[in-house]
Structure 1
């Protein structure tokens, strides 16, 4: 019965034709779909100005419309930036981009990014609403370079195309890590005539200076002291006896923060009796690697010396491992002080830090870029008469309160420095705007840095920003901070690269 029905259905002439037509249609449809998929480029967009690069799942690019780059902690602040940007009318604003690795997977770096964005937004709001209606107004956009700044090139290319049209990009801030990728990004931006204001870059070789070939980044300014200045401030503060000091340093090269910090510390330890103790961090220094094993051995060797002070030149992950190892040292009866650069600011939020190590006669101090107590008067501690002010810091406090429903932590200084970098960018943009014009030409913004001094200085929340002729801060306040047993970052005192605070006129002296 089934066989007769099958034969009748399939094998009549009419059914054969119908079956063939259906089969061809199905095959053609499938083939057409496959060809269409093969010829149509994959949609890799994430938001306006943002897309996933080939071979990556990260969303990188530039956006000021509230996109959070898939990072939930940025959602609120990105929304505030969108709201502020939407108040701006065509033709009345200039744009400042905040260039950061917003999609970093390192928890410490993610917190740093959030605080920097909050600080930049706080200063954008002040520029647009509480600066006596000065112009141009400021539009803020977020520029993501991806984890480890791996996609800096694509993002920088997008920024280079934003100097005209409705964007009118006039400055880039952020550029917060002293890495090879950031050095290349700064070179590309300044090479294209775009002014750059670094927030927390401290490497001495991502800077301009006197002499042939030293003006490698025309239009670059920084609001943080160099590693060299941090080291000098630490040495003046600590009054370290070279005969009782030792340097522990990373041998991994190409990290401009570490390379210049160990050079600066080495210069401060001339005549020290011991050769440096060496370790090698992983290519990505946020990874744990095997350096903890090396530090366990180094602590044995430190106990064999007469050292009392250890200068540490390395990133925060290895610093935490070293502290943990030194806290478990065999010579527990001997006190030690660790002195390091601003990467120490990450320690307060590092859950892997063994805080009991700080009870084992171990003191950890670092040169911070800013601290909330630096310009607050306290019993027995007067605020310096020059170099900064309580009023400037209190203005910052009022502004940063607008950036989040929850209080923004300030102890690591990231929000403070980002606020000051944005203030410096706004200052230069407005100083460069000709009378009667709505905004300046791109190339004119970076030429303002030599005049940011004296009465034209920026009254930063982190201290006065007085730039030398090469865009570097002169004698910038360096808060010395101590890590307490409970993880709080306790302000100790302000140190100065030039030993004492700047004079009232804040004019850098002639060098050489």
Structure 2
């Protein structure tokens, strides 16, 4: 650089101007970078955001957003396509609230099947119901892994009652946990009708003593009813039975199931065998070692042959694996449990060889594809015709103009029960009005009327709700694991010991 250019550059206003511009650029860059660091973009989709940077996306969406879960893309797109066909002002919205981004394989499968069942019923309501109104819009509501972000999602749902969404019911609500209980309390407290799919805990229900969840209806039997159905089916001798129960606090499924089982085993000679699952019961923890010890204790009993298991599916799998390696291989044991057993057949960590070592597993399923097939189906309590309506709709969903909705399976009953919950929601919404859109408070009042000739002819069986929103004497399919891990339907059992009468009217003290 010549002296002349050096003098021009360094000792003229040009230098000052360039210096100022450079300084401004540096400050602006640092400021923007600091702003971005302090205020990261947490949005995921319309109505959906991350609670914090790096977290899962939670919120409510009906626009085809699958919450970054690849397995849900097909059914999310099918729901979006159906929603797009609806005109503003002609529809009521139903949300399916689930832990959509759960990383547990069993829960992920459950979420997929529930959304598939809900969509099939949405499509039927909008296309196969003789132009009844209002039309039904379906949205996905994600409460996050373990339902830990339920407050965010419930807050959004409460905002959707008014305005263009016209939210009129929330379905799904599929786990009997403390978070679910709090979410149901918040929703029903705000006057929003809730229809539980697979919640079975007795303390997430209304009853003769009180109705802590006004507007809650359920399509699955309570744990108490499941236990009663199992007892009527198995005719178990209490003197030969042992209860194995989880002591982890805050789990309403296990707490009410162990109480129901304990009531059945009031005269049992053996005290319950205890274990404590991890805070997240989908994790392995150290309970496998506890079950090895319990299996040894069972071998030490004189003649016990039946185990009532009150726990979640991860621990159930660990227990069955341990029982398969027990010292007393010559003795036979049958494990009886609640609907969490429906996850066991698909669990890749299940030691299927245990099922060939005189270990039987039977559970109370919420629904099963073989329960209502001819011949041999009960004459009341459900019907093969109602189940066939569902399977025909499922076949129709394979049409590319309607679906596809992803790979389907009915063996765990989740799609069937979600379809029935959605049917109950649609019935409540449409019976509440002769106009296009009912008041949300009128939907809540419909549950006590769903009985007798107004019952819901569900694919899982009749849904005859009592005055507190609970299904009366609901069909309970008993299912057992075959030696290859497949799920084999045994027969339908009933909480009352026999199928309901044709009128399906709950007694006065229900």
For the aligned pair, the TM-score class normalised by the smaller chain equals over 0.9
Map residues 193-272 of structure 1 onto 2, 5 A cutoff. 193-211=191-209, 214-272=210-268
CA distance in 2, matches of 1:205, 1:426: 25
User: Which whole-Å deviations, capped at 9, do the CAs of 1:456-505 have from their partners, x for residues lacking one?
Assistant: 00000000000010000000000000011112110000000000000000
User: Which whole-Å deviations, capped at 9, do the CAs of 1:48-104 have from their partners, x for residues lacking one?
Assistant: 111111255211111111011000100000000011011111111100000001100
* Aligned residues of 1:103 and 1:110 also touching (Cα < 8 A): yes
CA distance in 2, matches of 1:109, 1:6: 75
User: Which whole-Å deviations, capped at 9, do the CAs of 1:315-362 have from their partners, x for residues lacking one?
Assistant: 000000000000010000000000000000001110000000000011
Q: Which residue of 1 aligns with 2:388?
A: 394
CA distance in 1, matches of 2:53, 2:81: 33
TM-score (norm 2): 0.96
Q: Which residue of 2 aligns with 1:331?
A: 328
User: Which whole-Å deviations, capped at 9, do the CAs of 1:442-469 have from their partners, x for residues lacking one?
Assistant: 1111111110100000000000000010
CA distance in 2, matches of 1:265, 1:497: 13
Q: Which residue of 1 aligns with 2:87?
A: 89
TM-score (norm 1): 0.95
* Aligned residues of 1:221 and 1:470 also touching (Cα < 8 A): yes
Q: Which residue of 2 aligns with 1:440?
A: 438
1:27: Cα distance to partner?
2.5
- Partner-residue secondary structure (3-state), 1:493: strand
* Aligned residues of 2:40 and 2:53 also touching (Cα < 8 A): no
Q: Which runs of 5+ in 1 are unaligned?
A: none
1:43: Cα distance to partner?
2.1
Which of 285, 291, 300 is residue 295 of structure 1 equivalent to? 291
1:274: Cα distance to partner?
0.5
Q: Which residue of 1 aligns with 2:414?
A: 414
Q: Which residue of 1 aligns with 2:358?
A: 361
Which of 17, 42, 55 is residue 21 of structure 1 equivalent to? 17
Instruction: Please tell me the root mean square deviation across aligned C-alpha atoms, in Å.
Output: 1.5
* Aligned residues of 1:190 and 1:196 also touching (Cα < 8 A): yes
* Aligned residues of 2:466 and 2:472 also touching (Cα < 8 A): yes
Change (3 A) 1:26 1:336: same
Map residues 349-388 of structure 1 onto 2, 5 A cutoff. 349-378=346-375, 382-388=376-382
CA distance in 2, matches of 1:137, 1:100: 23
Q: Which residue of 2 aligns with 1:342?
A: 339
- Partner-residue secondary structure (3-state), 2:292: helix
CA distance in 1, matches of 2:322, 2:432: 52
1:21: Cα distance to partner?
3.1
- Partner-residue secondary structure (3-state), 2:457: strand
Q: Which residue of 1 aligns with 2:126?
A: 128
CA distance in 2, matches of 1:99, 1:401: 25
1:14: Cα distance to partner?
4.4
Change (3 A) 1:402 1:66: farther
1:17: Cα distance to partner?
4.4
CA distance in 1, matches of 2:380, 2:202: 25
- Partner-residue secondary structure (3-state), 1:143: strand
- Partner-residue secondary structure (3-state), 2:136: strand
Map residues 408-487 of structure 1 onto 2, 5 A cutoff. 408-433=408-433, 435=434, 437-487=435-485
Q: Which residue of 2 aligns with 1:152?
A: 150
